Structure 1
Amino acid sequence: MSVFQRDDWISGFPFSPSRLSAGGGNPSRARMPGLVAGARINDGHILDGYAQNLATTLGRKTIPPGLNAAPRPGTDTLARRSLPARQQAPRQVIRLLPLEAFIWGSNAVPPQPRTRTDHALIWVTQGRLQLDLPRSRRKLGAGDLRWIPAGTAFAARPLEGTQGHVLLVAPALTRDLDPGPPRSHFAATVGDDSGHLLVLMRNLEMLARQDAKPPLFARHLGLLALALGELAPERPEAAPELSEAADMSLLARFEALIRTELPATVTVADLAQKLGCSTAALDRACLARRGQRAIEAMNDMRLERAVTLLRETRLTPVQIAARLGYSGHAHFARAFAAATGRRPEIFRAQGG
């Protein structure tokens, strides 16, 4: 006889009474006597996925003290309690930093040029600052000032004992200003009468902390633009030595060749062959003048051209990737995000 056809099981075996039922099993061994049994958790009218409210099903008298089902006087249940909306800290559109605490560039040693998403006004008041741009390297001294627009690749490293100021400005504040800050890299020298310039920089930071209205920002940024226009021009730098001049000549030809060869996928070896030098000589020239190897210089120049095309043309990122010799849109997007922190589409949507 099959076990399923037997009707002589003793005490309901193998279907033993549940401890959760009102009368089955040993009531003394139940963990919460009468609680779950009285809740009728297996009733057919309860929809799947819905639990009974023990407070309404059992009543307050049957709830053990530890459950605290009833709300405290003067309070509401969690379901009805309105939680305050999460407050976001106001985005600081202008920041004034001490120059000695401002180090910018890649994680390499020394730092290599890298683009920023905001404008940077760098002013050295004491000591020296190593400033590396894609096509030049220079040590700034006391009184030197630089305006570096957003999207420009640069590296800044203050030397020991350097002091000064760095003003970081969100590009949205300077858009359509007349007069406005310089649209390209700007170099000048600050004279002894520089107190008004520092006052303007501090006032802008104060407006940012107070979350001031855009017209106030526009007014003070216009005054800053006028103050920059009244500064003396950049001081001439000493002429390079003959070996440095040779490196500069090779580097200039290398950079010019990259601009003409960008639509094609070329290697550093191909470029060195066209320049009539070895890859080692090309690397030495790039390291001496740019602080980076030839392949890094080529990639940086390609990204700079990509930034220009995203700002000044309506070419899609796919078209830009093909024009600049990337293997595809994915390759271009990864390289661009690694350098700027944003994908090309987001960079263009945010106004660069």
Structure 2
Amino acid sequence: MDPAATDPRLPQAEPSATPADDRPVSVLAPVIAAPLGPAEAAPPRTGMLPRGRPGDGLRLLPLSGFHWGGPVRGRKTPPSPRVRGDHVLIRPVAGAVSVEFPRQAHVLTAGRIAFIPAGTAFSLKPPPDVQGQTLLIPPAWVGAQPLPKAFRSGWPASEDAAILDPAILALAEGAARDPGGNGATPYQLGLIAVALSRLEERQGHADPRSDSLAGARPLTERFLALAGCDMAANRTIAEMARALGCSLAQLDRACRQSRGRSALELLYDLRLQLATEALRGSTRSIPEIAEELGYAGLGHFMRAFLAATGRTPEGYRALMRGEPPAQEG
């Protein structure tokens, strides 16, 4: 299910004439609309989205045409999450879209922005009336830019709202002209990286949960640090709670307050994160990784990883290394 340049559910527009420089453009959506965030909205601009050819690497697509995921499990259910090999930046400007992760969904409304790093399992089936853009960034283009290593979502800070959309558009225009990138690419990616590092959870308002989070966050971080020290020990949540000087109920409540997930769910997420890092950054065998991370056995690891990412550990390792995909059953 590679992302389509058009939404097949919508009437197809007549293709426009090819510009003089033979650079293909999208005929579907206007150029990025005025930033929707804490800053005062600027007048919208009109024009065409630059559209890269297949294989160009970095591409900017209409959000309504970006569909991703594995097999569809039912008429009313979204596709199953599946790993992508590129970074995905999602910017809705009208309507809303739900990003489906293995054990939770994240609703993205107009004005917010989301970044999904390469190697993250997710699915997306946007409604036909949603408006916005999806930027696909090959990891090879990123270089030393400090893009987030995990999913991020929020409102652009007031000082970033006015520069974020022009940076995205300029980056895509440069990629359409030069699929290999150009000299301005690091600068534009740097602007995007800074904006992502300063995303705000709520538009212009302090988080009303900040007081309750003051004690929940440190406990949750201590729990995750303890769990990550020796995953092979396979300690129970109750054992770790006692080691942290709290009850199981207190630990679980802190995890839900600070991360929106139970302690057990966070432990599963941490184990999956460590597995993906080991597959990407080491040559250790897959059975060895499964044992180090406390899985009950190789079969347990294979089933859990496939359910969470849509790929086997071997397939994920090959994807992240840019190797030819192996045939997966």
> In which range does the TM-score fall when normalised by the shorter chain?
0.5 to 0.7
Q: Percent identity?
A: 35
Distance 2:65 2:246 in 1: 40
Paired letter, 1:276 = G
TM superposition score normalised by structure 1: 0.53
Within 2, Cα distance between the matches of 1:243 and 1:181?
30
User: Is residue 93–residue 132 contact of structure 2 (8 Å, CA) maintained in 1?
Assistant: yes
Counterpart contact for 1:124–1:165, Cα < 8 Å: yes
Q: Distance in 1 between matches of 2:95 and 2:67?
A: 14
The structure-2 alpha-carbon separation of the partners of 1:92 and 1:235, relative to structure 1 and needing over 3 Å to count, comes to closer
The corresponding residue for 2:135 is: 167
Q: List aligned pairs for 1:242-253, cutoff 5 A.
A: 242-253=211-222
2:167: which partner in 1? 197
Q: Which moved more, 1:292-301 or 1:140-149?
A: 140-149
Query: 2-side partners of 1:204 and 1:267: how far apart?
Result: 51
- Which has the higher mean CA deviation after the structures are superposed, 242-251 or 149-158? 149-158
Pairs within 5 Å for 1:45-64: none
Sort the Cα spacing of 1:321 and 1:241 in 2 relative to 1 into closer, same or farther, 3 A: same
1:230 maps to: 191
Instruction: Give the 3 Å change call, closer, same or farther, for CA 103–126 of structure 1 in structure 2.
Output: farther
- 2:88 aligns to what? 120
Per the TM alignment, residue 178 of structure 1 is displaced from its structure 2 partner at its CA by 5.3
Query: SS at 1:166's partner residue?
Result: strand
2:212 aligned partner, one-letter code = S
CA distance in 1: counterparts of 2:121 and 2:215, whole angstroms:
24
SS in structure 1 of the partner of residue 283 of structure 2: coil
Matches within 5 A, 1:129-140: none
On the 8 A contact 2:85/2:319 being kept in 1, the answer is no
Select 1:298's aligned residue among 267, 276, 287: 267
Distance in structure 2 (CA, Å) of the matches to 1:250 and 1:157: 36
| Kept in 2: contact 1:100–1:164 (CA 8 A) | no
CA contact (8 A) 2:171 2:188 kept: no
- CA displacement 1:271-305 (0-9 Å, x = unmatched): 22222323222222222222222111101101101
CA distance in 2, matches of 1:199, 1:285: 41
- CA distance in structure 2 between the partners assigned to 1:266 and 1:320 by the alignment: 17
Q: 1:168 to 1:350 in 2, by over 3 A?
A: same
Residue 276 (structure 1) aligns with? 245
Aligned CA RMSD, in angstroms, stands at 4.7
Conservation of the 8 A alpha-carbon contact between 1:100 and 1:163 = no
Between the aligned partners of 1:119 and 1:197, the Cα distance in structure 2 is: 16
1:217 pairs, out of 154, 157, 179, with 179
Q: 2-side partners of 1:295 and 1:114: how far apart?
A: 22
Deviation at 1:146, TM superposition (A): 4.9
Q: Give how far 1:322 is off.
A: 1.0
Change (3 A) 1:249 1:126: farther
Q: Can you give the 5+ residue segments of structure 2 that lack an aligned partner in the other structure?
A: 1-53, 322-329
Taking the aligned partners of 1:180 and 1:255, their CA distance within structure 2 comes to 27
Corresponding pairs, count: 247
Say whether the 8 Å CA contact 1:124–1:162 is kept in structure 2.
yes
Alpha-carbon distance between aligned partners in 1 of 2:181 and 2:66, rounded to the nearest angstrom:
28
Change (3 A) 1:247 1:179: closer
Is the 2:117–2:148 contact (alpha carbons within 8 Å) kept by the matching residues of 1?
yes
The SS at the match of 1:191 is: helix
Matches of 1:279 and 1:301, distance apart in 2: 18
Distance (Å, rounded) in 2 between the aligned partners of 1:124 and 1:164: 4
- How far apart are the structure 2 equivalents of 1:277 and 1:257? 14
